[in-house]
Structure 1
């Protein structure tokens, strides 16, 4: 498959005879849905190669992935199939990579896990709206966040098109004050629900062990909680921008639960060996500064 224009997060592992073929996961770095699937694959110790794409400029790559501009992210390519939607990917893994311990086999426990998975998936749009209601006060930070995996050409295109993209994005997300206030209430109810469960002594939402319920709840809320182990949302610059929300929920047991689940279970096998994720925005700036310096040197 032609992967020109895609930025792999790690060297593609090689398949060997008798081993399950390596899966390919197409993601966006700052997407909670992508983090949900990425975390599930890491926690299940499944072999995969991640290709992180640039938001709003990924449609050309979509044609290479699935022959259609309509391919959504995250998308998993495995066993000759393309699976879209984070929940459908998890259910595909349950069927095709069994035993998949993150979804229990016991029918009653499975139903409880999937109820929580759906419950916290529901808050995804509200989290993103609240996230950008805060971040859009610094549009340049938003542009850098969207450029994390962009090459020099893509970064330049995104910079030129950014005002137009930002206007369309604002309208699509629905940034009216009433909608933002509603989203805040939805998120607060979710945090309060997690707080009640934590107050009852439960570390995990269902089944007594890490499941897709915990992964979904924690990854969906990560943009507003900024756990140390997150690839992007641990970044000091991002945290500074989110400080108004971090202060509002400082010490909230629901936010503490998210940090606890990340601390106990988030060990990205190809990125965070031995510690927290590197500051993504700082690494992005260094990469593009080095690229610009190389280009300048070549023209001298």
Structure 2
């Protein structure tokens, strides 16, 4: 029902706010007769007098004052909404939600984004490739940092960064005396691996298969951090990307001379949302 009288109530509010019909017309950018007719139709429809008219001056009646108290809240919220939208367009307020498969890469992007846009907020959700891509589809996140999004439909995808995979070994291991190792050096080592489906595990297993290297996976752990603690405690060797290496006491990272042992990350969002100001701002920071 309200929408039927929106124009009339809007005109009433403008007259009450500006103190006259002419000034209300200027405020609303419409003709003064239109304002007069809209207010009169409102008074007639509800059999109520809202203004005391005396020449060119108007004064609110008791009923008019009560209605104006209501419309101040009503149209005040409307004006607040417009200010918010204008501020969002100018990147003065807003929240961008990032989902990622790599905590350190996501945190680095979050830091850079906050440095570039201090007034804006950013949240980061760490999860699997599948959950991150699903988050884009159900609008629970705005931007994803993933490894293999090519098969997903409806996405705008841009290459972000490539990270080399390094071997993680305990202090005193023979590899620590070398500048780098080859994939063939993995033969005979006790290896701690991520769970099946891990991109790092997939790269290492593929490289070993292609070079006929026997890979002895002695333990599976579904956490990068836990794996590195296990290595530091002498339980075997493992592999992580350079950016994900944690320099724990007793832990050493060793380069691997194999171009296949790298992971390329992509930045993606729904194609229909690519030009949204906040998403565009995040892409600009990440790729600039």
- Which band: TM-score by shorter chain? under 0.3
Give 1 or 2: higher strand fraction: 2
TM-score (norm 2): 0.27
Question: Which protein shows a greater Rg?
Answer: 2
Which has a greater percent of helix?
Answer: 1
Q: So what's the TM-score if we normalise by structure 1?
A: 0.26
